[in-house]
């Protein structure tokens, strides 16, 4: 168990084991994703917890002790070229109550998950996220040390909750290699200082799809993208995504569709050329800008 001192109050993170705790996790799902239909039931969470899965919950220290966040994963296989598939944990869900978001609790839940999976002797944790959601990209790539090189089209089919309705549920697969130098550095108490856009541009990185703002003030995807030739990988490429994805989606669903198809094409093409997402860069301002940094070759995974 780990105690955290967050701005909103102290919480304990612990492994969940009984049905009452799993029912708390169901409540968090309902409150974190209002309107979501495919909630994971308590009975399934309990089964996973006792059959090689892992369910972690964050509870307030003050009475009444209330669950404010949880994460769960299960044992799975991961294909590795040239080798037999390896065992891993696949993390299916991370949920934090709205009132407790923005305080780093998601990071600490994922870090506790990483610690436990590492203790169990596994070398990989994976999960999926929407490639256009910058806040999750920053957590998964920039803060947790994950990488991404697999793109799933419409992974979960049509979903009617506010976060997903109206668009294909495209996803990136995050890989967190548990004992890699990059992950150990990100999970340490003294992670490296993040690189900003100026650092990347000074080092010769190229923005592959620079945006322009339309009359309503929303970024438009680049109408033309020039990709590097196969075998001529540039060291670093930057791919831009909207800074306020959900605001854009709510304001202009047709523009959101164009962004979905644009990022699908760009990332699938770059992954096919051997590029890997290894960083996420946020340029603050009004408006702000978000970028994936992609590097070429397996050496970037160390």
247 CB neighbour count, 10 Å cutoff: 11
pLDDT computed for residue 38 by the predictor: 82
The tens digit of pLDDT for each residue in 79-132 reads 998 999 999 999 999 999 999 999 999 999 999 999 999 999 999 999 999 999
Token pair of 182 as six digits: 């990059």
Number of separate helices (H) and strands (E) present in the chain: 8, 14
pTM greater than 0.85 (yes/no): yes
163, 167, 140: which is closest to 155 by C-alpha?
167
pLDDT computed for residue 191 by the predictor: 64
Give yes or no for a contact between 3 and 12, defined as CB atoms under 8 angstroms apart: yes
Q: Give the mean model confidence (pLDDT) for residues 136-146.
A: 97
pLDDT computed for residue 18 by the predictor: 98
Q: Are strands 289-296 and 236-241 parallel, antiparallel or unpaired?
A: antiparallel
Instruction: Report whether pLDDT(36) > 90.
Output: no
Give yes or no for a contact between 178 and 146, defined as CB atoms under 8 angstroms apart: no
CA atoms within a 13 Å half-sphere pointing along the CA-CB vector of 154: 8
Q: Are strands 171-177 and 147-152 parallel, antiparallel or unpaired?
A: antiparallel
Phi, psi dihedral angles at 257 (to 5 degrees): -60, -45
The tens digit of pLDDT for each residue in 177-189 reads 999 999 999 998 6
Alpha carbons 92 and 31: distance in angstroms, whole number: 17
The CATH superfamily label for domain 2-187 reads Gcn5-related N-acetyltransferase (GNAT) (3.40.630.30)
Alpha carbons 246 and 77: distance in angstroms, whole number: 33
Point out which residues pair with 147 in neighbouring strands.
175
Segments making up each domain of the chain, as ranges: 2-187, 197-301
Distances (CA, A) of 151 to 169, 173, 207: 11, 7, 20
pLDDT computed for residue 297 by the predictor: 78
Q: What is the CA radius of gyration of the chain?
A: 19
The tens digit of pLDDT for each residue in 255-297 reads 999 999 999 999 999 999 999 999 999 998 888 999 999 998 7
pLDDT computed for residue 302 by the predictor: 53
CA atoms within a 13 Å half-sphere pointing along the CA-CB vector of 46: 11
């Amino acid at each position: 168990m780990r105690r955290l001192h967050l701005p909103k109050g102290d919480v304990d993170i612990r492994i969940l084991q009984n049905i009452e705790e799993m029912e708390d996790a169901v409540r968090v799902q309902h409150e974190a994703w209002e309107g979501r239909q495919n909630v994971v039931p308590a009975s399934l969470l309990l089964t996973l917890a006792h059959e090689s899965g892992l369910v972690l919950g964050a509870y307030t220290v003050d009475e009444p002790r209330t669950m404010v966040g949880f994460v769960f994963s299960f044992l799975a296989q991961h294909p590795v070229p040239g080798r037999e598939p390896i065992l891993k944990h696949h993390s299916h869900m991370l949920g934090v109550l709205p009132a407790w978001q923005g305080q780093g609790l998601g990071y600490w839940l994922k870090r506790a998950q990483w610690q436990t999976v590492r203790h169990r002797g596994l070398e990989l944790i994976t999960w999926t996220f929407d490639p256009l959601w910058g806040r999750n990209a920053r957590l998964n790539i920039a803060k947790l040390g994950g990488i991404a090189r697999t793109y799933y089209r419409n992974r979960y089919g049509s979903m009617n909750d506010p976060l997903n309705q109206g668009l294909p549920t495209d996803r990136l697969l995050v890989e967190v290699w548990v004992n890699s130098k990059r992950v150990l550095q990100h999970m340490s108490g003294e992670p490296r200082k993040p690189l900003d856009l100026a650092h990347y541009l000074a080092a010769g990185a190229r923005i592959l799809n620079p945006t322009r703002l339309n009359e309503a003030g929303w970024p438009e995807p680049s109408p033309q993208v020039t990709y590097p030739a196969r075998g001529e990988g540039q060291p670093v490429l930057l791919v831009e995504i909207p800074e306020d994805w959900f605001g854009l989606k709510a304001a202009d669903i047709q523009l959101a569709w164009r962004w979905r198809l644009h990022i699908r094409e760009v990332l699938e093409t770059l992954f096919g050329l051997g590029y890997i997402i290894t960083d996420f860069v946020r340029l603050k301002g009004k408006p702000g800008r978000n970028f994936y940094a992609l590097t070429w070759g397996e050496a970037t995974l160390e």
